[in-house]
Structure 1
Amino acid sequence: MGFLYNVRKAVWGEPAATKAERRLIVKIDAFILTYVCLMYWVNYLDRANLNNAYVSGMREDLGFVGTQLNQINTCFYGGYLLGQIPNNLIMQKISPRLWLPMTCFCWGLLTLGTAFVHHPWEIMVIRFFQGVFEASCFVGVQWILGSWYKPSEIGKRTAIFTSSGLAGQMFSGIMQGAIYRNLNGRHGFAGWRWLFVIDALITIPVAFFGWLCFPDTPESTQAKYLSTEERILATERLPEVKVVRGKIGLTLIKRVLGTWHWWAFVTLWIANSNTEMFSTNGNYQLWMRGTGDYSIEQVNYVPTSQPGFGIVCTLLLGWYSDYNPRRNRWQVGYLLTITAIISGALMLSKPSAAGRFAAFIINGAQFAGQTVMFAWANDLTRHDDAKRAVIMSSMNMFSVAIYMWWSIVFYNATQAPDWHDGSIAMLCMAAFLGVVNTWCLWGQKRQEKQERLEGEGHGGSFDEGYDPEKVDDLVRGEEKGRGRVAVE
């Protein structure tokens, strides 16, 4: 029993103190984690299918020229950008149990529509609106996970959640290879068109599952599988939320922009997400197709090694970040700085085929930032629900704003197979990630000092209406009177 307990603790963390809390965690894992993972899996399935379709006959059938593929991705991310903050604010007023499945249903219908297009511009329109609805998924779920799980629990769950998206990306490649082999030309439909039909048939049932089983938030849940006692426990077991869900108003602007959290974490995610560029632009597939040395099936199958490596890194680093949340998350930021530098340097050196495979696969590690950086922001802003929602969505929104033009300038299809300028940009963004990670670490240490002072009865709030100069004076006064303030 002792050995099994230690294994369980190492893999899934310290068990809850009471049987009632352990039973509650099992239930919310079963319903919340299952649904959000399925939703993110089909989210990436429906997003990654475009690159797989492009190298499987769509380019020739629809007459793509120049950078039209990148333009379509820009249209998608334009809608994705515009949908970030509105989607999370809508969930402050409309039940997430209704809103999240509804957006999933809508993007499923748009995926189905892509199977019947005849011109690239039609895909541009569809992908724009698909981006608007898909914007609800990632940041909305990050906010939901922060509403249900403790700081020591959220990293592992976020790792599983983000890994499900990478699994969708992997599955899209595997499925497209199988579809091309078995369904290409069936009933007059090209294999790449069948991919969108099958993706939609997978997505829509997931939306209905959410309507039936998703439990909403701890304060508003009416889930029949949770007893009254469990609903109360779900709220009481979490750190205190000083400003609860739905408190928007004009004060929200001050609560968001008047603290370091928004500025630092938004910049952090801009840096981290833009070190994923070798992974998110389909460069792996484009390079393999451009060599002419690989079959259509291989061009779809082999690049699944990239999200596969991303899943391994995401799970390992998500687990590691939960082991000591306030220490290990910034350490992961520095590790991802190193892996981005390695992948960029390998590509810049014009390596052999083996070196390119290594560069693309290593870049998959950058996906782990989706877990750790959002868990870090969730932890440090969980005292204000609306502020946390805006910060989560702003992180993604502003990173997408950079991505929209960054990918066209540095990683477009016409720059294959070297992406020389993109490799230099990767190295610069990696260095920037290290700098911003240091900024967030400074902000965390500053917040920990203030939390310590508040715990010792000095009052005040680190986040609402505080005067930074007074905080500094207070901290300096404590240091003079008692020696250096300890920081955990």
Structure 2
Amino acid sequence: MTSKEIARIEVTHSKGASSPSITPSLEPSTPGPPRTYSRPQQILRSIQRHVWDDPDKSKEEKWFLFKLDLFLLSSACLGYFSKNLDQANINNAYVSGMKESLNMYGSELTYTANVFTAGYVIGQMPAVMLASRLRPSILIPTLEIIWSVLTFCSSSVTKTSHLYAIRFLVGLCESGYFPVMIYLIGSWYTKAERGKRVALFYCTAALASMFSGYIQAGAYSGLDGVMGRQGWQWLFIVCGVISLPIAFLGYFFIPDFPETTRAFYITKEEAARQCARLIEEGQKPLGHNPWNKKKILHIAKQWQLWVLPLGYFFVQTSFPNEQPAYALWLKSTGHSVYQRNVWPTGQVAVGVVVQILAGMLSDSPLLGGRRWPAIIVMQTGMLFGAIIIAIWKVPDTLKYVAYYFTYFGAGVPGPYFAWYSDLIPHDHEMRGFVIAVSNMFSYIMRIWWTNAVWRTIDAPRYKAGFIGASAMGVGMIALTFLLRMLQNRDEKRRTEEVAPTEESELTA
């Protein structure tokens, strides 16, 4: 769509029109007499309304959302699965023979994580800036192909220094995936649609961690020694084989932004309609506020730039997954290689369930689109587990339970990032910028945070780590209430600004 077409849609809505001037094929059909439903049908429709989308949407909207889910959401989830599979495999490889093969000692696993983080941080802002100039449908799949090749290379390292170099490059290539895809999802779905979809996108990270354990268990038992390679080496090869085809799909499935899409499955009329739907919710289109010095200074004065990244830092550091703590505790208590690879996947299963539930709740009529209650519930569950493990001198049965409860923290990021579009509806580019800054700030802070409290030599107890996670969890709960207060204040201000405008139009 051209900038003139976008402006025309926006102006039409600003004057109070109910929909933009677009092709009639996307307009809802003329409603007939109200349809009656049986009691079971009413119950099913109510469940659908709370779990997924409003069943009263028009056929055109349902068909469009189906296509968007089939291509954009599935591509985003598969790519994020690939990214996190290639990111999580290092921990599984470490506890399955890589440590001994490379003679790793002390905190070298932590250093490996830190060089990955360094690459990840460096690439954040350039990737997001490129996404608004070079199409995401070109940028993201190309980066995926590069990190897939690097994953293959990880299977052949013979020195820790080689591993450091590869992990830095993997982090550099993976850096743009998360912020760009969160930005895209928030640019296509409305407020009542995005929470559950962001949660589904985010939970693929947990699935990747879980499948990495299964893959390593299979590689260790079935491929160890095949062609002269150890099981941990086969883990990297299998992950690369999974990632490469997913990368090529992105060239066809990622639709760019509604204003710039060339996707084969989205018509110009559908793109125009989607722009209009988002404008109806108060969102500004891409290019509405172009980048310049004035814009940068304006963003720097907004509270979102300073508060939201701090919140995401709390989210990340309160979720105690910096080290394979559960697997290392199982190792210290004499459990088998198979058990310490597979049992921690139960944590991931808990994380997947709570992420989906949190996303559905934050979108459902039950919470009225409010994100903060779901965040509070998930943080409270995580706090319970982290505090129990920090105490440590508890029965082993309670400790098992606590390790699984810590993964309630996985349910926070989905509603939190869905909240970004609600908190920054007035500036398209600023929203993407703040997402990138949040991710970048979180990873920068985690470099020293991991060194300070998640040292490998503290395994398996990680006393400082779990105390720190508990403290950050309390901080996140407090910040959630602050965000709620700021959102209410901003919405009140916008309402007060609109009211005089409408009154002047009526008296004109």
The answer to whether TM tops 0.5 is yes
Match of 1:103 in 2: 143
Unaligned runs of 5+ in 1: 460-488
Instruction: Write the distance in 2 (CA, Å) between the matches of 1:101 and 1:454.
Output: 43
Unaligned runs of 5+ in 2: 1-40, 503-508
**Identity across aligned pairs (percent)?**
29
Match of 1:221 in 2: 261
Instruction: Write the distance in 2 (CA, Å) between the matches of 1:224 and 1:339.
Output: 43
Please tell me whether the aligned partners of residues 217 and 341 of structure 2 are also in contact (alpha carbons under 8 angstroms).
yes
Confirm or deny that 1:415 pairs with 2:458: yes
Return 421-430 or 368-377, whichever deviates more: 421-430
SS of alignment partner, residue 316 of structure 1: helix
Instruction: Return the offset for 1:327.
Output: 6.0
Letter in 1 for 2:300: L
Instruction: Return the offset for 1:56.
Output: 0.5
Return 160-169 or 220-229, whichever deviates more: 220-229
Match of 1:323 in 2: 364
SS of alignment partner, residue 161 of structure 2: helix
Match of 1:396 in 2: 439
Confirm or deny that 1:367 pairs with 2:367: no
Match of 1:119 in 2: 159
Please tell me whether the aligned partners of residues 89 and 386 of structure 1 are also in contact (alpha carbons under 8 angstroms).
no
Deviation string 1:1-54 (CA, Å, 9 cap, x unpaired) is 433322322221313632212211111111001100100111111111000000
SS of alignment partner, residue 175 of structure 2: helix
Instruction: Write the distance in 2 (CA, Å) between the matches of 1:107 and 1:447.
Output: 41
SS of alignment partner, residue 223 of structure 1: coil
Please tell me whether the aligned partners of residues 146 and 382 of structure 1 are also in contact (alpha carbons under 8 angstroms).
no
Confirm or deny that 1:282 pairs with 2:318: no
Please tell me whether the aligned partners of residues 252 and 263 of structure 2 are also in contact (alpha carbons under 8 angstroms).
no
Q: How many residues align?
A: 457
Give the 3 Å change call, closer, same or farther, for CA 94–382 of structure 1 in structure 2: farther
Deviation string 1:59-100 (CA, Å, 9 cap, x unpaired) is 001100100000000111111111222211110111011111
Give the 3 Å change call, closer, same or farther, for CA 16–104 of structure 1 in structure 2: farther
SS of alignment partner, residue 118 of structure 1: coil
SS of alignment partner, residue 388 of structure 1: helix
Give the 3 Å change call, closer, same or farther, for CA 326–409 of structure 1 in structure 2: farther
Instruction: Return the offset for 1:254.
Output: 2.1
Match of 1:272 in 2: 315
Instruction: Write the distance in 2 (CA, Å) between the matches of 1:423 and 1:227.
Output: 51
SS of alignment partner, residue 258 of structure 2: coil
Instruction: Write the distance in 2 (CA, Å) between the matches of 1:172 and 1:146.
Output: 29
| Pick aligned residue for 2:377 from 329, 335, 340 | 335
Match of 1:242 in 2: 284
Confirm or deny that 1:387 pairs with 2:427: no
For the aligned residue pairs, the C-alpha RMSD in angstroms reads 1.7
Instruction: Write the distance in 2 (CA, Å) between the matches of 1:402 and 1:439.
Output: 21
Match of 1:93 in 2: 133
Return 181-190 or 405-414, whichever deviates more: 405-414
SS of alignment partner, residue 344 of structure 2: helix
Instruction: Write the distance in 1 (CA, Å) between the matches of 2:43 and 2:208.
Output: 35
Match of 1:481 in 2: none
Match of 1:187 in 2: 227
Instruction: Return the offset for 1:147.
Output: 0.6
Letter in 1 for 2:178: F
Give the 3 Å change call, closer, same or farther, for CA 232–333 of structure 1 in structure 2: same
Confirm or deny that 1:20 pairs with 2:60: yes
Confirm or deny that 1:60 pairs with 2:100: yes
SS of alignment partner, residue 418 of structure 1: coil
Match of 1:45 in 2: 85
Give the 3 Å change call, closer, same or farther, for CA 327–97 of structure 1 in structure 2: closer
| Pick aligned residue for 1:344 from 386, 392, 401 | 386
Instruction: Write the distance in 1 (CA, Å) between the matches of 2:93 and 2:324.
Output: 11
Instruction: Write the distance in 2 (CA, Å) between the matches of 1:371 and 1:180.
Output: 33
Letter in 2 for 1:130: V
Instruction: Write the distance in 1 (CA, Å) between the matches of 2:62 and 2:398.
Output: 47
Confirm or deny that 1:154 pairs with 2:194: yes
Instruction: Return the offset for 1:438.
Output: 2.0
Instruction: Write the distance in 2 (CA, Å) between the matches of 1:416 and 1:354.
Output: 19
SS of alignment partner, residue 280 of structure 1: coil
Instruction: Return the offset for 1:393.
Output: 0.8
| Over 6 Å off, 4+ runs | none
Instruction: Return the offset for 1:243.
Output: 5.7
Instruction: Return the offset for 1:448.
Output: 1.0
**Counterparts in 2 of 1:169-208, with a 5 A limit?**
169-208=209-248
